[in-house]
């Protein structure tokens, strides 16, 4: 299987989020159970980070894993759930809002049906 992860972008996003949260590399490393040198290498893209380690970093930084691996963090699940979708729904007039709600209900029913089938 081909690995298409952009380690440079991943490192940039980790660093930006770490700095935004006021954390040092040392503090992040301690919370992740790795060395400061490892975090430095990940941020500079000189050290490839496996997904299990990236999941730990995402958990410590309180973001979804897709924040780092999806081409744009704006399409992360958290962004869609907390920002993009509510913004769009707030622009709808009442009859269209009711239609949107029924469509969401249909999607949720389909998801639940698929979850039951996959168990």
pLDDT, tens digit, 9 for 90 and up, residues 8-41: 999 999 999 999 999 999 999 999 999 999 999 9
Furthest-apart CA pair in the chain: how many Å? 56
Mean pLDDT of all residues in the chain? 87
Residue 72: pLDDT band by 50, 70, 90 thresholds? low
- Would the pLDDT of 45 be above 60? yes
H helix runs in 5-93, sequence order: 7-20, 25-32, 36-44, 51-60, 66-69, 77-79, 85-90
Q: Which residue's entry shows tokens 């907390």?
A: 82
pLDDT of residue 75: 57
Token digits for 44?
């500079």
11: number of CA atoms within 13 Å, CB side? 15
Average pLDDT (46-59) is 93
Q: Is the pTM of this model over 0.85?
A: no
- Would the pLDDT of 77 be above 80? no
How many other C-beta atoms are found inside a 10 Å radius of the C-beta of residue 88?
11
């Amino acid at each position: 299987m081909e690995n298409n992860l952009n380690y440079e972008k991943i490192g940039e996003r980790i660093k930006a989020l770490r700095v935004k949260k006021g954390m040092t590399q040392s503090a992040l490393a301690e919370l992740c159970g790795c060395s400061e040198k490892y975090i430095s290498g990940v941020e500079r893209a000189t050290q490839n980070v496996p997904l299990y380690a990236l999941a730990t970093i995402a958990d410590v930084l309180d973001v979804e894993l897709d924040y780092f691996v999806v081409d744009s963090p704006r399409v992360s699940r958290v962004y869609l759930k907390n920002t993009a979708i509510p913004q769009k729904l707030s622009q709808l007039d009442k009859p269209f809002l009711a239609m949107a709600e029924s469509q969401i209900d249909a999607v949720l029913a389909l998801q639940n049906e698929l979850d039951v089938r996959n168990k």
